[in-house]
Structure 1
Amino acid sequence: MKIVCIGAGPAGLYLAISAKLRDAGHEITVIERDPPGATYGWGVVYWDDLLDTLYANDRESAEQIRAASTLWQEQVVSLHGTDHAYLSGYGYSINRAPMLEILTERAIQLGVDVRFEHAAEDLSEFSDADLIVVADGANSRTRQRYADEFGTQVDQGHNPYIWLGTDRVFDMFTFDFEETPEGWIWFHAYPSSAGISTFIVECQDTTWRRLGFDRLGDDEGMRLMEEIFDRPLGGHSLISSSRGKPASWQRFTQVYNQTWRYDNMILIGDAAHTTHFTLGSGTRLAIIDAVMLAQKLLDRDQTAMALKEFDEEGHAALRIAQASARTSMAWFENTDRYTDRNAVDFCYAMSGRNSLQPPWRYQQHLLTQHLMARKAQRLANVGLRWAQARRRGESRRRLATRTG
């Protein structure tokens, strides 16, 4: 089968890898308009469920991704930089650029033709392709040209946000909410590479305008954010430029398509669907799409039937995740409804923003604010991480370095 993937993000590259692993006879080309290494943003977060998928599908790239990732433990939620509350658990983060480099090298190793600086403006260029996989992100130009055929609906979230870096290394996933005379503004931060953390700033539109971010230049805006978050930054700097491109304020793009297939085209990843970044599930869903589509292409003799099943089953599986993401986004768009509470109660409201909580959960939350209970939970998580790593077959060297 001749397959063309438009977009060299996680979805397109991992589809190419997954399809090649299942049938080396596929002739696969990945088309990317940007040069190698050009990517927006800093780190992405994920959890053990993604590692399970990666190791089961392609151990070679899974080992490299895990080695390039950082482990973070616990989440801390802060009001005014002084009132703190905690959530147990752990996760992983990796800079987007090295992740894409790993996937690109693995795809090429398997015989995929990856072409950078090649814009897919005219699909007639790929008239001999059996399948065109549209994986060029939430703002997909290819999908936009066929918006009626896909039944595309694109909406914008209300809150402005900006994706930055900082040279302060956070060892926890950190939320900090600061009150200014113009309203509340907050950040989500987590370690993403050696010496660098991802730092996403968000606020309501009225606060954003009152603070002047709609008028300030890049340098002035950065200085203002460093002043607002001076206490949690501890004197460290914010970093705007990622791979030479300065960050800009934007609003989350919600993408929904009635169908992901048209003719010999199929949408995957953010081109097909988006979930708000406060869930941290975009990369995981892109990888799941890629694995699922590759498996359908192997299992079905007819490509049309494979695409039909992928479309129907993918839509059904995604309904809960998208509903949860919309609810999470709405909570952060109305954060000021909860900021009159102390940090412990605010944190509890935030943690339950997209699911119903049984009455006993609040008592459990209160218990986990005590230092000894948090230490016990950390020890339990060490054992859990080790058991899950062993089950999925991580190397002994990796197991030896992940028990802390």
Structure 2
Amino acid sequence: MRIAVVGGGPGGLFFAAVGKKLDPHWHIDLWDRGPVGGRDGFGVVLPAGLLGDVGGTDGSSFSAPEARMSCCSDIDIRVDDRQVTSHGHSFAAMGRRRLLDTLRERCATLGVTLHLNRDAASIDFLSERYDVVVAADGANSAVRKARADAFGTHLSWGCNKYIWLGTDREFRAFQFAFVRTPRGIVHLHGYPYGESASSIIVEIPRSLWKDVGLPDADWISDTFGAVLRGHRIVLGNSRWLDFATVANRTWRDGNIVLLGDAAHTTHYSVGSGTHLAMADARTLAYCLKEHGDISAGLADYETLRRRVVASAQQVARASQEWFENVADHWGQDIDEFAFGLLTRGVR
């Protein structure tokens, strides 16, 4: 089987590695247009054991990255100067760059042909020359846009602006912090992903952006000083963004199939995007291996994964709505506020 993968994020790389390990006779070409080592992305939340499918059971060297994942079991919830801690949770994260480096190394070892820092050919060209084309090129997928009518793409836009940042403070617990400003409530959530390294996401009402422009790193440091404690903000390639929930009527168009954020997105407040993409990748590889017919394999993949994604998107929508309407909960007692936050995705 000849397979083209467009996109060198966790989903695309994981699919290529799992597929090549399942069947060494598959010829897999992967294109990644981004510069090697040029992504920041900070930390990604992952369940432990997910990378076992590309472990070194074939005798080649492979260092288990899970051993270097950062874990925490507490959630600190701060509302202005009030704080409560919830215990008994389980989170694990690792640096996105480390994850990508690990997966690229594994792909190369297994025999995947990597075309790094290069654009893929047109989707028509790939579709004619490969048995399967996997579009793993993210929420702004060029492959999906080229066939938007066939996929039936629908985008739902959020109300707030957000930015993904880093800090050199290593949190000991997952962080939620809310601060009331004259132009609305702003909030931060963050988690550790390595030594002296944590990811933070800051979300602001669109009204704040319209009135005063997008806040800078100094404003963020001042506003969330109680959480950052004087530690510096790491910008990288960070910019303020609008969140779009991506949905598609179908994930398949002939021998072209969508994977990860190209097929679906979930609001960043539930931290499941990378996990869902990599779970898509694993399922797609196994379905293609199991079925002798490519069309049947692609159909089985979509059927299996749609059930999971539909549930995840429902939880994510509830979470997004809670954060966008946080002012409705502002007058609550801190324990009541925290309970609403922790159960926001429960249906």
Query: TM-score, normalised on structure 1?
Result: 0.81
Counterpart-to-counterpart distance in 2, 1:81 and 1:302: 60
CA distance in 2, matches of 1:327, 1:62: 39
Residue 354 of structure 1 corresponds to 345
Match 2:225 to one of 220, 223, 230: 230
Q: Work out whether residues 151 and 258 of structure 1, in 8 Å CA contact, stay in contact via their aligned partners in 2.
A: yes
Deviation of 1:123 after TM superposition, in Å, equals 2.5
Who is 1:92 aligned against? 92
Residue of structure 1 equivalent to 2:149: 148
- Counterpart for residue 198 of structure 1: 199
User: What code does the residue aligned with 1:279 have?
Assistant: V
Deviation larger for 68-77 or 300-309: 68-77
Displacement of 1:178 after TM fit?
Answer: 1.0
Alignment pair present for 1:326 and 2:317: yes
The separation in 1 between residues aligned to 2:113 and 2:142, in whole angstroms, is: 21
Pairs aligned (count): 342
The unaligned stretches of length 5 or more in structure 1 are: 357-404
The residue number in structure 2 matching 1:51 is 48
- Amino acid corresponding to residue 295 of structure 1 in structure 2: Y
TM-superposed CA distance for 1:40, in Å, is: 4.5
Secondary structure of the 2:257 match is: strand
Q: Deviations over 1:175-196 (max 9, x none)?
A: 0111122221110011112111
Letter in 2 for 1:314: R
How many Å separate the matches in 2 of 1:27 and 1:291? Answer: 17
Alpha-carbon RMSD:
1.7
What corresponds to 1:363 in structure 2? none
- Whole-angstrom CA distance in 2 between matches of 1:355 and 1:125: 45
Code of the residue aligned with 2:26 in structure 1: it is H
Instruction: Provide the C-alpha distance between the structure 2 equivalents of 1:36 and 1:203, rounded to a whole number of angstroms.
Output: 32
C-alpha spacing 1:124/1:83, structure 2 compared with 1 (3 Å): closer
AA matched with 2:133: I
Displacement after TM superposition at 1:124 (Å)? 4.1
Contact 1:70 1:94 in 2 (8 A): yes
SS in 2 for 1:201: strand
Matched residue type, 1:294: A
Q: CA–CA distance in 2 between the matches of 1:87 and 1:346?
A: 16
Would the aligned equivalents of 1:83 and 1:343 in 2 still touch at CA under 8 Å? yes
How far residue 62 of structure 1 moved from its aligned partner, in angstroms, is 8.4
Q: Secondary structure at the match of 1:329?
A: helix
Once residues 83 and 45 of structure 1 are traced to their aligned partners in structure 2, the CA distance between those partners, rounded to angstroms, is: 24
Give the 3-state SS of the residue equivalent to 2:89 in structure 1: strand
| TM-score normalised by structure 2 residue count | 0.94
Cross-structure match for 2:18: 18
Whether contact under 8 Å (2:17, 2:107) holds in the other structure is yes
Alpha-carbon distance in 2 for matches of 1:193, 1:71 = 9
Question: C-alpha distance in 1, partners of 2:308/2:166?
Answer: 33
Give the CA deviation at 1:68. Answer: 2.8
The SS at the match of 1:169 is coil
* SS class of match (1:88): coil
Corresponding residue for residue 263 of structure 1: 254
Question: Cα deviations across residues 37-63 of structure 1 (Å, max 9, x unaligned)?
Answer: 2225211113xxx324432x2334985
Counterpart AA for 2:204: C
Moved over 4 A (4+): none
Instruction: Provide the rounded CA distance (Å) in 1 between the counterparts of 2:308 and 2:82.
Output: 41
Structure 2 match to 1:161: 162
Aligned equivalents of 1:213, 1:92: Cα separation in 2: 34
Residue 202 of structure 1 aligns to a residue in which SS? strand
The amino acid across from 2:268 in the alignment is: F
- Cα displacement (A) at 1:154: 1.6
| Partner AA of 2:254 in structure 1 | D
Map of 2:82 onto structure 1: 82
Gaps of at least 5 residues in structure 2 are none
Preserved CA contact (<8 Å) 1:81 1:232: no
Deviations 1:53-79 (A, max 9, x none): 432x23349852212311122111011
Taking the aligned partners of 1:254 and 1:103, their CA distance within structure 2 comes to 27
3-state SS of 2:48 partner: helix
Determine if contact 1:83/1:342 at 8 Å carries over to the other structure: no
Structure 1: distance between partners of 2:63 and 2:314 = 32
1:197 counterpart SS class: strand
Q: Secondary structure at the match of 1:4?
A: strand
Structure 2 SS opposite 1:251: strand
| Structure 2 CA distance for aligned equivalents of residues 302 and 123 of structure 1 | 21
Q: Give the aligned residue type for 2:333.
A: N
Q: Which has the higher helix share?
A: 1
In 2, Cα distance between equivalents of 1:332 and 1:280: 14
